[in-house]
Chain A
Amino acid sequence: MIFFETYGDRLITAFQVHLFYVLTSVTIGFAIALVLGILLSRVPQYAKVIMPLLSVFQTIPGIVFIGILFLYLGMIPATVISALAVYAIFPILKNTYTGLLDIKKEYIEAAKGCGMSPFQTLLEVELPLASPSIIAGLRMSTIYTVSWAVLAAMIGLGGLGEFIYIGIASNNDQLILAGAIPSAIMAIGLSLLIDVLRRVVVPKGIRSVK
């Protein structure tokens, strides 16, 4: 209890900052990933080369991106957000792409046969059918981003990582937990929220057919 009297306010601010980083970067990442995923699914012959290259970049630890961007952009939130957004892209992109490619040919043919334009086919048939996969990618990205956002504190930009870094430096397990538990709660909370979103977005007719 004493702990909360001392750190309560800072913890709430840190939580908000952390959430802000996560939401902004996941939103940006999602938008980019969706567009890229759709574009790549139109040219699978190139995507076959591009996707593995992207997955290699995915192996670069987040800390490196933040570190390098920090050198060039300095200590501003944009550094953190753009680094996190880059990380949020890949799982969503991959799931969008495979989700779109996995759609059975017959639906596309039926859509064409019904006189749907390519854009209408995408909007009304392909994206709804790929939505379970896309949302699963979003969920994964969000959970990762909550975890990576801890790194903001490494360059002095706050968030729940602050508690964790200070805690590690001072060997104070209370402080580490004060950073870790809210961050885990945030990850779980957001993934529950996405489960709700899933129920709204994924059309009823395909919910049982995973």
Chain B
Amino acid sequence: MDASIILEHLYLVVMTVIFSVVVGLPIGVLAYLKPAGRKIVLWSVEILQTIPALALLGLIIIALGPGKMTVISGLVLYSLLPIVHNTCVGLENVDNGIKEAGKGMGLTQLDRLISVEIPLAFPMIFTGIRIATVTTVGVAVFATSVGGGGLGKIIYQGIRTQNINLIVSGTVSLMIMAVLFDVLMIWINRRLAKGAHNKAF
């Protein structure tokens, strides 16, 4: 097993997370701003999550043709739930007094979101991104079934050829990657939370 496969997997994960945030964050914010649509949005992302990852990828490949970007778009759909959910709930949970004060100062809704509400909800939003990242590391294994490469290739190969060494080396790399992401992101979140604290007081 060479490093390129790990890098390939890493590429899938990082791209997926970036796109998930780009798509999921605005959806979460919209769901928060428009309570009427909130239920439908949260429900839809939950439904997406009930479709088996493999099937979702299979369908997208058929629709868009094989290739890394298609794999990534499938994985994005699959990781929307925690990001959208945490964004929406995190914003809802921001203290009402603070929201009111923002209004009282005559800030526009957009200004309030950007300068007050999103910063305060950020730890929760970031937790959603972290969950999505760690899950994606695992789910990206399926990429190989639809020609996307990554560590899944090693694992499948191991299972097919009954080569336990191959399976274990693939799995361990995967676990390490997941744990590293997890630890790194928890650390970043703590740092950010501390920074916000210092700024406020």
Contacts and interface: CB of A to CB of B under 8 A. Distances in A.
A59 B155 CA distance: 14
A130 interface: no
A164 B49 contact: no
A4 B72 CA distance: 32
Interface stretch (A40-48, A92-100, A169-177): A169-177
Contacts of A77: none
A180 B174 contact: no
B179 A150 contact: no
A188 B47 contact: yes
Nearest to B43: A188
B179 to A, nearest CB: 6
Nearest to A180: B55
Contact of A70 (B52, B55, B159): B159
A150 B142 CA distance: 12
B175 A59 contact: yes
Interface stretch (A31-39, A60-68, A111-119): A60-68
Contact of B155 (A61, A70, A188): A61
A69 B162 CA distance: 11
A71 interface: yes
Contacts of B62: 171-173, 176
A56 interface: yes
A64 B58 contact: no
Contacts of B156: 63
Nearest to A72: B164
B51 interface: yes
B59 A173 contact: yes
A29 interface: no
Interface string A157-190: 0001100110110011100110110011001100
Contact of B47 (A161, A179, A184): A184
A168 to B, nearest CB: 4
A117 B134 CA distance: 42
A56 B175 contact: yes
Interface string B164-190: 100100110011001100100000000
A59 B56 contact: no
A27 interface: no
Contacts of B174: 59-61, 64
Contacts of A147: 50-53
A91 B196 CA distance: 31
A146 interface: yes
Interface of A: 56, 59-61, 63-64, 67-68, 70-71, 143, 146-148, 150-151, 154, 160-161, 164-165, 167-168, 171-173, 176-177, 179-180, 183-184, 187-188, 191
16 contacts: A60-B175, A63-B142, A63-B156, A64-B174, A67-B155, A67-B159, A147-B52, A150-B55, A160-B52, A164-B52, A168-B61, A168-B145, A168-B146, A176-B59, A180-B55, A184-B51
